[in-house]
A and B are shown apart, each in its own frame.
Chain A
């Protein structure tokens, strides 16, 4: 193990280390802790200049209540869910199939197609912006959740295909050959042999894509406009315009907007990290 395990060091060092880690953590998360404290402060604290002191009274319930009952925030949150969940399902379903085809079959152009997905996944968004906006307008899907979902599904298929194909490549190929010898149809091999083995990959991709799409801001601004279809990342800016300088409410709003991916991360931590670090170990 590197660095040398701390439990072999002198007790003084061990204690120092144990004290150092939480201190470093507080320092690391300081900007976030500040916002969390902001979000439970009363308005009066900001007008009286008590920005960083202890809250003069605990107003968490009022602040968060306002976010949920006196603003468009619930609408934005619902929009985010209605955009994110179909995208996750669509992108994962499509990439299970493309990943299977590229990982299992040998045919001319296999690697070329694979590299098309990989390269497309790295492309800067801006080169897609004008044509995709145009296409969405032509389809009559501008400012709809469906328009956003369709684009996200297509774009995420790039990353997901990269992920799925590499995952399937690492599966034992003998299983598939055995099934073929038995005369099992190709689609049944996909459904009954490969798909069950892909469960960890599907879980990992689902949490990752959920986080990516929930946190998307650029496409939300390019393809949607109003409270009826904007997700929460874009909505938070209108929310902030509405409550300009009301820091306690903006903080509460930001925390609400950030919470779903955070919850997802803590619930599915193992899959999340497995997904992010795929390929970090040979």
Chain B
């Protein structure tokens, strides 16, 4: 079966209402709408996306270049910031289509915001608060937030002295520990697979006769350095195992801020100042969220939380409505440098999964607005058009119909009569009585 191009429910009015409510909500925090390209260099998104994202990225080749339909906004927004050489703080919000190459549909609705150029807990808490309270703004009150921290796990892994690639491998695969089909053994198997030969069986040098062979863009030194690295990884397997066990232990710590933050500080060695500092900052974020009107009862602390995009470097969070994972975000200070800036660019952002968001919107978003039908005949069409124009000026939806008995009986309709008057129910109004008509409509089923 061919994928649907627009799998989401095509209720334009409902979507538009929700988007404008969110737009207004984020404007209250100073976030301006930014339009970004739909098609971009695929490499921009490949820089730090996780496997889950990349495997479903919508890519295509044009003029010997691999392009992609945007799968999200963050990389494009950061690219825009870096390319324009901006130095001031940017608060941007986005709404529009994002794309995934999946059998059940290509196009999704993405809504989100980025705060670029500002570091610290104030920025982190602003993004989290704005994303959560945005749900309130569109009438979805039963949300909760799960918060983790990429920096904390990295700090805890320092003691195992793993090489950068092995540490990266472990961090990218933390979710395997929660996966019934994978687990710790899978992580170890993959590690072993990557370092498949025993150190002894790998040669320590390449013979001269081999050195006339096809090199494939690598030098002898590069090959031998990697041979050494593989040998070291095999020797360090015990350290890797200890690191996996630590991450596994920490992934059990999930719960309220009061309980878990206390537990975390107790489990961190007192000389690990950096990790303890992260916990203190975390407490600060929770306190700031409270000040933003988000009680700690809405917050779950989950130190092993990782997200599909690998660019996150600090605090990460996910939004839930009941059990439904409806959005998330976090801090990604390194992405700017990877995209072309000379140094890290402090940045934090979030996105709602638009289609999931729409699935929990209150029914009222999808109810059609009442429309007043003004009925005329061949003779008084001009008068009718004037009345319609005047009533619309006061914010009421009006449609014009030619004389029809059915319409005239309807309570949602008004009829044009002699002397340019309009009859609504039992009352008749002339143009000078527009205020009385509006008062009357305000007490009726019509809403602006």
Partners in one complex: no
B binding-site residues for A, Cβ under 8 Å: none
